[in-house]
Amino acid sequence: MEHLDLMEKLSDKIEELLAKYQELKQENDTLRRELLTCKAASEEKDKEIERLRDELAMKNMEVDEIIKKIESLVG
């Protein structure tokens, strides 16, 4: 009788652990998908930032050329 109670307790604990494992596995999978989504979004933002930096550099060069032209006309 006592042996059966121990087996039932052990069986219950194993079921609890398996349920917790499945729950944590699902949570881990969800977090992994979210991480991949965030990484992809970050890469897109990095590309956009780089494009904007290049665009800003070109605009700065244009401004510098305009200033040089103005200075040559005035000076």
The whole-angstrom separation of Cα 31 and Cα 35 is 6
Helix (H) or strand (E) run with residue 34 in it: helix 2-74
Task: State pLDDT tens for residues 12-59.
Answer: 999 999 999 999 999 999 999 999 999 999 999 999 999 999 999 999
The pLDDT assigned to 38 comes to 98
In this prediction the pTM is 0.66
DSSP character at residue 66: H
The pLDDT assigned to 1 comes to 67
DSSP character at residue 1: -
The pLDDT assigned to 71 comes to 93
The whole-angstrom separation of Cα 53 and Cα 73 is 30
The pLDDT assigned to 72 comes to 93
